Copies of this chain bind each other. A is one copy, B any other.
Amino acid sequence: MNRPLVSIVMGSDSDLPTLMEASNMLKEFGVPHEVRILSAHRFPKGTALYAEGAERRGIRVIIAAAGGAAHLAGVIAAHTSLPVIGVPIETKSLKGIDSLFSTVQMPPGVPVGTMAIGKSGAKNAGVFAAEILATHTPALRRKLHAYKKKLARGVRLKNLKMGFRFP
């Protein structure tokens, strides 16, 4: 794979199945990316170094996923000017509403573009990263147009499969 343009980081290896949705989406769009396990709480210095070095290493978008008092995306965003996409991980007790609030309610000056809780959010993080890169990459833009058409076609096909005529 080429030099990665997107970095996917997560707070725990138990989040990997969720984040594979982001990785698979980026693969579908042919966007080279890397995956790392970081932790704003257990590995703060490594996380800061990683975030600070990302731009220099050619990373253009960072996807960060965490659960509970989910500080990972916010801490990454504190250490870089790259766009940071946050994915709130579903949690056992509070079902990810803690992760959502901790990711989205960022103070002025340090944004995190937050996705839905869980797998839908992870998949969309991949699409959103591609959309960001596509703002300056015509080839990727065409792939996104095709993807949008595929989504619409998918709905049409489901109607056909169920035997629903579509006007």
Contacts and interface: CB of A to CB of B under 8 A. Distances in A.
A70 B133 CA distance: 26
A83 interface: yes
A104 B100 CA distance: 9
Interface string A1-28: 0000000000111001000010000000
B48 A48 contact: yes
Contacts of A60: 135-136
B78 A41 contact: yes
Contacts of A12: 107, 158
A40 B114 CA distance: 18
Copies of this protein, total: 8
Contacts of A64: none
Interface string A101-117: 11111111111111111
A77 to B, nearest CB: 7
A81 B164 contact: no
Contacts of A144: 81
A155 interface: yes
Given A48-B44, A105-B69, A132-B132, A114 B117 contact: no
A104 to B, nearest CB: 6
Given A35-B164, A113-B115, A114-B114, 18 more contacts: A16-B162, A21-B108, A49-B167, A53-B167, A60-B136, A71-B74, A71-B75, A81-B141, A101-B101, A101-B102, A102-B102, A104-B114, A104-B115, A106-B116, A109-B123, A109-B124, A110-B127, A111-B115
Closest 6 CB pairs of A and B: A113-B113, A111-B124, A136-B136, A81-B144, A43-B155, A42-B151
